Amino acid sequence: MNTICIANQKGGVGKTTTAINIAAGLAKAGKRVLLIDLDPQGNLTQASGVFASGCAYRIEHVLHREVAITDAIVKDVLDSEGRVDLVPADETLKRAEDLLVPELFSETRLAKALEGLSYDHVVLDCSPSLGLLTVNALVAATHVLIPCDYGSFSIGGIANIVEKIKEIGLSSKVVRLFVTMYRSSTTRTNEWAEDQLAHYKEITLETKIRRSEPLLQASIERESIFKYAPGAIGADDYTRLTEEFLAL
């Protein structure tokens, strides 16, 4: 089972959009996927069309060992024909994270909770921070995907994540970054950003997720791009990203 951590401490770089669409892309390829929302904002939960307030259990209950992760799973989201499930979150996760901090080995709670699951892939959508929830995701992950746009703060977040991975002794993880919200028309910005990213050339995926209106609208409609606009460039881009990931 692959566990994919999608992380960047900069917000607004497409983490949740990527989580939704790579899960849908994997499902399209016949894989069974579990999405886990690790952001107290609950954006992944909302984008999946799930209301956390109506769920008996959420990821916080799993991390506090109140229930098994299987008890917190919402079945069949994203019109995936049963291939994509979700463990939801809401704003109460922040308080749960604070309570976990003093606990011994609290950074391994998620990894232990995932043991024994039978999905092909687990996709972890992280909050824009390097707090305990993200550390749990990094520890549990087999793969770390870092989305970044061509803004300086987004690119700066890459070094922090890579350093955190080294700091907690996780250098065996497969780490890859990829560009989101790409616009070919912003040539000067692109040249500057590509120069900054040259240091990470060996771990940068070829796929660039282009900025497009259908991707934004799909999020508003709480659908994957494959459901909302299967012929759009966003669907092409996330198909390529999924294929590139599967080839790692």
pTM over 0.75: yes
Q: What is the pLDDT of residues 31-66, one digit of tens each?
A: 999 999 999 999 999 999 999 999 999 999 999 999
Lowest pLDDT segment from 30-44, 68-82, 104-118, 177-191: 177-191
Per-state percent for the chain, helix, strand, coil, to nearest 5: 45, 20, 35
Domains identified in the chain and CATH numbers: 2-246 (3.40.50.300)
CB count within 10 Å of CB 209 equals: 26
Q: Quote the tokens at residue 192.
A: 């500057």
Looking at residue 153, its pLDDT comes to 67
Q: What is the pLDDT of residues 97-125, one digit of tens each?
A: 999 988 878 999 999 999 999 999 999 99
Angstrom distances, CA of residue 118 to CA of 27, 69, 83, 125: 15, 12, 12, 19
Rounded to an integer, what distance in angstroms lies between the CA atom of residue 67 and that of residue 141? 21
- Are 62 and 89 in contact by the 8 Å Cβ rule? The answer is no
Catalogue the E-assigned strands of 13-161. Answer: 33-38, 84-87, 121-126, 143-148
